Amino acid sequence: MTHAAARLNLTPVDVGSEPPKKQAQLEAAAVSESPAPQSQERLVESLSARASELWGRERAEQARQIIEETAAAILRVTRNPPSQEEEPAFY
């Protein structure tokens, strides 16, 4: 940051991105607008129906355990979302 920017209390901003506070508000609005499943069973049904549409009934039935595990993981994150300040960990 240059001395002039420091005197004006300016901080660098990524060109084309929203200010952090606005970005957090947009993300929170997107999460709150998405319909949250009420139960794991409903989510499993929804994911299974989509899997059937994409890959056929037989493959969707073969993937049932994976679909159930995925539904449980989605619900865990939905019920306990990470804080807005937490950076994702990539492995």
Global pTM value: 0.53
Give Cα separations from 26 to 3, 13, 18, 65, 90 (angstroms). Answer: 32, 17, 9, 34, 23
Dist. CA 91–CA 17, nearest whole Å: 26
pLDDT at 55 over 80: yes
pLDDT at 3 over 80: no
CB atoms within 10 A of CB 52: 15
49 vs 31, more confident: 49
Q: Calculate mean pLDDT across residues 8-23.
A: 49
**Mean model confidence pLDDT for the chain:** 74
16 vs 84, more confident: 84
